[in-house]
Amino acid sequence: MLRRLAVIVLFDGVDLLDVTGPPEVFALLDRELGQESGYRVRLAAETLEPVRTFAGVRVVPDTTFDDLTGQDIDTLLVTGSVEVDHQGRVRALADPDVVDRVKQLACTARRVASVCVGAHVLAAAGLLDGKRATTHWSTAAQLAADHPEVTVDADPIFIQDGDIWTGAGISSCLDLSLALVAADFGETVALRVARQLVMYLKRPSGQSQFSVPLRPLSTTPRIGELRHYIAEHLAGPLTVTDLARHARMGERQLTRVFKSELGTTPAVYIESARVEVARHQLETTDATLDRIATSCGFGTTDTLVRAFRRQLGVTPTEYRNRFRH
């Protein structure tokens, strides 16, 4: 049996689920296979002293970084941590000592994966140079600004670029771990583990980590009211001219305000809102794609399919097959 040493990097302030999620996936894999998969998980830190996670729970390392020097590592999993200021703004951290350790361990690893904001540590170690990567949506802009040599895509829940994998939001550590299992043991086995985790189905890498409610709230009352108007009239045409007239402002002004407050254009926002409603219908109803396209304002099934591919990276049919309640 192939031995697969999986090392999870620990340090103070690390997110707890980043640490515990992958081992749960690997343990359930053993149960599904009815035998050991070969994964041997080790939590590694600078010393063997307990590490305090962001949640306040203390985790005891299995080994030290020094003890792993020169060992063949199958999968190096790099966790992350953040600091939050008094205004609730989140910033990812990359301790220089941890970065150096990750750089050393990566030299003997078959593949390296970051969980959530652990991508900032990989980037600081130079492991993402020239690569496409993702991270938690709240720190994606920071990653792009701090490391322009990295092509940051804030939308997918995980990305594989060669032997480097990067994951998005905290719970997507499960999706990333399942993808690693699928790469080693096949999709069928990974889906069986996903069912044990009570996940509807294993999500593909292109599945978006965003939904319309995650977009920032508007500060201009007229834009806030206009968002409600859009939600109530998705089946209609909703042109920029119509929206500007309803908001009692010029079309150019409307576009500028949307861009400054919501970070997008009216057209893209409307498409996102329509996709969100279509997602709900796909999950909870037997409505045909034609009916959903009409009720959500897409008009045709082709337009619905193109919007889903742009927004979520999957077709409506693929989405329904994976997430139907």
Tell me which residues are annotated as active site: 116
Distance between CA 10 and CA 142 in Å, rounded? 22
255 within 8 A of 249, measured Cβ to Cβ: no
Contacts of 110 (CB under 8 A, 6+ apart): 72, 73, 74, 75, 163
Best CA proximity match to 68, nearest among 23, 108, 111: 108
Distance between CA 283 and CA 324 in Å, rounded? 4
212: tokens are 């319309």
Number of H helices, E strands in the chain: 13, 13
Best CA proximity match to 115, nearest among 83, 81, 80: 80
CB contact burial 224-254 (16+ within 10 A = b; e otherwise) = eebbeebeeebeeebebeebbebbebeeeeb
**Angle at the Cα of 132 from the Cα atoms of 130 and 138, rounded to 5 degrees:** 120
